[in-house]
Structure 1
């Protein structure tokens, strides 16, 4: 099993909390940081829909854009016109911090939102 996926799955059920960075609460960036074992940016906003800016943060975190996804890669997706979101790919779907459900969840299948790009830790 992929260690990134294992760490992401260990967070299932953790409450959603904007800018959360621990088991007390996580948002999508915090979940990605925990799963990857990396530091998350202190100041960020994915509600702007600014893809180049988000991609800059991903590169600064040591991730690279890949053409073909594998379990443990991050999907940068667009749930709305001015919103971006990160999800961790698994062999069966995605683990992500779901604001609407108020917790980290695993969802099976393909992304319900357009995938802008797949990112892998170097």
Structure 2
């Protein structure tokens, strides 16, 4: 799956209701959005404010992603949206798609994320896992 295909899948979720631990059309959180966009299984049962960057790294690596310094369409963006709270989004080139708890739905925002970006992860060619 290419970065452009990941972005299309993320954009396809825009408007889906926000639901903590959501994994389907009835609701998604940021982790569920990433699972949908990448077509991979993602963990459940985590706390909203767990802030576990090591868990994100482990899941990303297990899905065949690698940490990158530059930005590209389809990247998984890991941000610090509040103290002790990580937030995930998908880079769509001219902005990003994320599950917005405040707006209660998946949205696309133009431009750069308003939160500090902690890491970016990208598909590792030849090692894509489902």
TM-score by length of 1: 0.93
Equivalent residues, number: 122
CA distance in structure 1 between the aligned counterparts of 2:74 and 2:47, rounded to whole angstroms: 23
Please say if 1:23 is aligned against 2:25.
yes
> How far apart are the structure 2 equivalents of 1:119 and 1:54?
10
Per the normalisation by structure 2, the TM-score is 0.88
Q: Encode CA deviations 1:5-34: one digit per residue, 9 max, x unaligned.
A: 000001000000011111110000000000
Unmatched 5+ residue regions in structure 1? none
RMSD (Å), alpha carbons: 1.4
* Residues 50-59 or 61-70, more deviating: 50-59
Matching residue of 1:83: 85
Q: How does 1:7-46 map to 2 (within 5 A)?
A: 7-45=9-47
Distance (whole Å) between structure 1 residues aligned to residue 95 and residue 70 of structure 2? 15
1:71 to 70, 73, 77: 73
2:107 aligned counterpart, secondary structure: strand
For residues 24 and 17 of structure 1, do their structure 2 counterparts lie closer, same or farther at Cα, with a shift above 3 Å needed? same
Answer whether contact 1:96 1:106 (CA < 8 A) is retained. yes
Q: Give the Cα separation in 2 of the matches to 1:18 and 1:91.
A: 26
Asked if the contact 1:46/1:85 (under 8 Å) is kept, the reply is no
Gaps in structure 2 of 5+ consecutive residues? 125-130
Inter-partner Cα distance in structure 1 for 2:26 and 2:69: 34
